[in-house]
Amino acid sequence: MHPTHRLSPGRKRRRRSHLALKGKHTVLCPNCGEVKLPHCACSNCGYVRPGLQLKLEDEEE
């Protein structure tokens, strides 16, 4: 089976314009200054919000 009508390149590109990858939004940790995702614990120090800090295990090599 073949398509009944050929799509022009512009129409194909307009359809695919929503398939582009989105960049990740990052913020700075107020505790240590590392970049982290918003509303997530900092992977460097474990800071979440004032009064709450997760204990991170040190990775031994």
The parent domain of residue 29 ranges over: 24-55
The answer to whether residue 2 is domain-embedded is no
Q: Say whether pTM exceeds 0.75.
A: no
Burial of 26 (0-12, 13-18, 19+ CB in 10 A): exposed
Confidence band, pLDDT 50/70/90 cuts, at residue 1: confident
In a domain, 40, yes or no: yes
Q: Is residue 7 one of the residues assigned to a domain?
A: no
As a whole-number percent, the residues of the chain with pLDDT over 90 amount to: 43
CB atoms within 10 A of CB 44: 14
Q: Answer whether residue 17 is part of any domain.
A: no
pLDDT, averaged across the chain:
86
* pLDDT tens digits, one per residue of 26-48: 999 998 999 999 998 998 888 88
Give how far the C-alpha of residue 37 lies from the chain's centroid of Cα atoms, to the nearest Å: 7
For residue 60, the model assigns a pLDDT of: 53
Q: How far is CA 14 from CA 7, 22, 43, in A?
A: 11, 17, 39
Q: What percent of the chain has pLDDT over 70?
A: 93
Domain count along the chain? 1
**Structure-token pair, residue 51:** 């009064």
